[in-house]
A and B are shown apart, each in its own frame.
Chain A
């Protein structure tokens, strides 16, 4: 049931190298160990650097010659479930930016890890996580994807728990619980997908299978929830704001920069899987080939699918898109609100990541809603994924530099750092301008694309007189408000950390802060350069990287992809659009920070220190449910013990009672009369029996022996039971 691909397969060793180099690096780093710490750090940098090189080569190769694969079975069960390394444009794109962030993080970690313990363990697992993450991007089926996805999730646990403080432990426990539940949900989704499409590949061989399978909604929910946990989608985000700050900064950069994108990647793949339509003739071939139960369902599906045509498929994907837009809007808004009220820099950044994932999912949702015309949504989403990887990576690395140099992450206790750490301030500011979406910085480009996508969706809904038009309008408004909120919390963080005059009690401490070491600056610099490049040359990136990636998706209208690639970014119409969020953002900022800005005494509520009641958060309820369900087994077991005792007691009483019954009632009643008669005539009876039975006895010797054995065994058992 191999599906013909539009792009040809080209053999290449590159995917294996991308997978193998980090693993080799990890082994070498572990071997070098703490005794040769410098060598170990160099090895880490070298292997992630080489991996970046391979990722770039792979990207070039994929764009020049189609899907690259390596013919080695990563996983294989028989002939039906075979997992290969296979990289298409989308995968190569993700692998590329992941490798960039990893390289930057390993440069940063070179110096940063000096003030942490157990460095070798950290580097070992950091590189293994890189291998697993790249692996997720380099496969073309859910089966192998699950392998790498799980490996990545489990190995990142070590990065989260690294500092082993009580806080980190609690965060890591929450992380692992969510990861495992998410992984199981994903597996359930994959199983259902397998059951109703008959394949584990990303492209279903029979389109209409999706339309008939009664479990398709469940399958979809499971897949999206499974990936959504990783992506930090509200309401599955609860692990993220705890885990990202708890990890050492390079790891937070990776978690926020890359690993949550793996979730977004999965959701994107899921949407594309539903969305891509394979040619019909292959569907027939598939039905003939397979005789399994699933394929029978597929045969019905194919017959109906032809009748229904593409329209019902479109409706399904449209609904899916709308649901994703809903979650995306929720995610971006909730993340923004929570980011606004934090004190801790890394926690703010973590909530910001939640919020930004909302943007990315927003694009994916638009892709689903627009269907064949969704080039803009996917383009915006991909662009924002790359942007977010760069600026959020840079933010976390800068936060690492701050904690390394100033030993403080509470933004209200910092201030005036721009004098002490000027280069860090520059890099931070570049990222800040990027995430705020200021013209000539990268966020501007992707937010513009996303905004275009939502406008197109709105036009589509209006023109089709769909009920969803109003909802989409609402989504657009929330999109704009969230952009405003983003500007507010980023300005707040930048202001308090870098530009505000430090409070008197902290001034002495801040006096002694020095600029971050070169290694850290190098890591930040790479990512800041990425932010600038993405912001200044959108045409180049859209034309050369994003559009070719989007084009490979089967079934997208190529004209609209072309249109996306040629979008004019720096025109007044777009620049005008950011004025509203800017106004909102600055108003919120001034509303919250006016006492500090103007040196006045605070009156009224402090919106930057707002504390919402705990029961408003989903986290509170999750923890309660988790605690209760953990207590349940113990309660059950405690309740079971007395029941078991009663049963055993009852059995003993029963056995004793039987014995008594035989001894006191049955045996005496037998011995009283009939046996008296037997005793009197016993001799005659014995003679009779002997003459009759003996011949038979010889004949059935074997059987009698066996019977005796049974009786013996039963008696033994009986005795034992009596003794019990």
Chain B
């Protein structure tokens, strides 16, 4: 049942809605803090609502398109909501809504700047998600890069500035590389930058060498955001420096924007057949495997919680790359589903880290003894997500791991399973001690018969901090059990996979 593509202004509305927050902040920068910030939240909620309104149509296989501008003949800015774009858009607008709610309580200075740039970033990212061709994607992607800079340096400490600076260096170099990729792509594909389900390039359009150059230029360009290993340098600095909701978004969504670009390149520009003919997948797979293992090992050595989480993110985003590189149905399914799964899990973990920071001021894991008694709900949610990251069933992490493993078997390469299991083992090694320290140690437990702290539920933190954490932790399990519910990642990603394979 091929869906129909129809004109719709809804994508544009979704992109413009976050600007409401911006307008409100600009109009009444000194107005009541409550009203201002809650309007920002409502803006992101409305955006989510608008995105959700497209769900039934998308599940029917329709797509929605609107042309924004035409730069030159054949090169236009166009938004098209196809299933993949919609999937990413849904994930990001959902996480954004929760992060905005969280920020209302979390951000305590210069909140106007933070909320304004947050809204702007959401708008740009939605534009990138809904982009119908590489040109549009590039524009929004670069805008998002600059929009997210103020989020990273928000604390304005020396560390934050340095991290933001590093981020800019990396992102701008990546943008340049990406630009050359797009120019080459534009030239060799005969001016066709659009995303097609079977790819637009073929061996007929250019020689092998050129196609491979284009591919690797793209990979290098998007690889910076997706934190593929030699290009990951900015991630472990930016995450701890940014305020927690921003790190949740960085890890949950912005890193994924890079991965999303790679998905687009692999399946919608090159296409499965060409990928197979060029045997490009091996390089991707090797890079992904190295990243997964090395990042997990680095995570093990970190004592700063957010830095550990950041390294973990580097490894986990490469799950997506690994899934793509398998070029099998289950691999692609697992990889693409991991995009949402990881956003849920890591979003929750970073938000938990934020609660810990706000309530106890502790950043280092070694200082967190007995924190589970102080912040029981937060740490229970943290534990749930940490176990999910290890791939413990029933959770979204297990679903990804299972599908990736199944995809590896389909590809006839069980060696990937070894990588997945090593990664799971390492993530157990760096996540379980946190749970252990939080719940089974306490201050002064070296002395025999020391007084154990009392567990007190409720009243641990502001509801605005706790609610997003709990929602994400519940989703980690719920999405991991009722995988096939329409609107959950599986329903959307199977559609994509069925089309491209």
Contacts and interface: CB of A to CB of B under 8 A. Distances in A.
Nearest to B411: A293
A702 B71 contact: yes
B425 A75 contact: no
Contacts of B445: 164
Interface stretch (B96-104, B189-197, B297-305): B297-305
Interface residues of B, number: 52
A181 B425 contact: yes
B393 A78 contact: no
A633 B406 contact: no
B410 interface: yes
A304 to B, nearest CB: 19
Contacts of A191: 405-406, 408-409, 414, 417
B399 A637 contact: no
Contacts of B365: none
A717 B180 CA distance: 15
Interface stretch (A147-155, A448-456, A477-485): A147-155
A194 B409 CA distance: 8
B440 interface: yes
Contacts of A151: 392-393
A150 B392 contact: yes
A184 B421 CA distance: 6
B216 interface: no
B10 interface: no
Interface stretch (B147-155, B166-174, B201-209, B266-274): B166-174
A293 B410 contact: yes
B281 interface: no
Contacts of B448: 165
A117 B451 CA distance: 11
A630 B165 CA distance: 34
B475 interface: no
Nearest to B175: A713
A152 to B, nearest CB: 12
B394 interface: yes
B298 A195 contact: no
Interface string B396-416: 001101110110111110100
Nearest to A173: B436
A118 B442 CA distance: 14
Contacts of B399: 77
Interface in A155-193: 161, 164-165, 169, 172-173, 176, 180-181, 184, 187-188, 191-192
B188 interface: no
B228 interface: no
Contacts of B421: 184, 187-188
Contacts of A716: 172
Interface in B72-101: 72
B483 interface: yes
A154 B173 contact: no
Contacts of B393: 75, 146-147, 150-151
B376 to A, nearest CB: 11
Interface in A65-93: 74-78, 81
A195 B409 contact: yes
A716 B171 CA distance: 12
A204 to B, nearest CB: 15
Given A169-B440, A194-B409, A77 B483 contact: yes
Residue from the set B165, B173, B387, B418 with the largest chain A CB neighbour count within 10 Å: B173
Given A150-B393, A151-B393, A195-B414, A721 B297 contact: no
A670 interface: no
A387 B175 CA distance: 69
A166 B86 CA distance: 52
A78 B298 contact: no
B424 interface: yes
A630 B429 contact: yes
B5 interface: no
A187 B406 CA distance: 11
B277 interface: no
B440 A164 contact: yes
Contacts of A293: 409-412
Nearest to A703: B72
B301 A154 contact: no
B179 A713 contact: yes
Nearest to B482: A76
Given A147-B393, A188-B417, A717-B176, A161 B429 contact: no
A720 B409 contact: no
A154 B387 contact: yes
B169 A721 contact: yes
Nearest to B73: A702
Contacts of A117: 452
Interface in A126-161: 143, 146-147, 150-151, 154, 161
Given A184-B421, A191-B417, A76 B410 contact: no
A25 B398 CA distance: 27
A292 B501 CA distance: 13
B297 A75 contact: no
B432 interface: yes
B19 interface: no
B494 interface: yes
Given A180-B428, A191-B405, A292-B410, A720 B452 contact: no
Nearest to A294: B409
Nearest to B412: A293
14 contacts: A75-B394, A75-B483, A78-B490, A143-B402, A150-B393, A180-B390, A191-B409, A194-B409, A632-B297, A633-B301, A637-B297, A710-B176, A717-B173, A720-B172
Interface of B: 71-72, 165, 168-169, 172-173, 175-176, 179-180, 297-298, 300-301, 387, 390-394, 398-399, 401-403, 405-406, 408-412, 414, 417-418, 421, 424-425, 428-429, 432, 436, 440, 445, 448, 452, 481, 483-484, 490, 494
> Sorted from nearest, which 9 A-B pairs have the closest CB atoms?
A195-B409, A147-B393, A637-B301, A633-B297, A633-B300, A191-B405, A184-B421, A180-B428, A702-B72
Given A75-B483, A293-B412, A717-B173, 14 more contacts: A74-B394, A76-B483, A118-B452, A147-B394, A150-B392, A180-B390, A181-B425, A187-B405, A191-B409, A293-B409, A293-B411, A637-B297, A710-B176, A721-B169
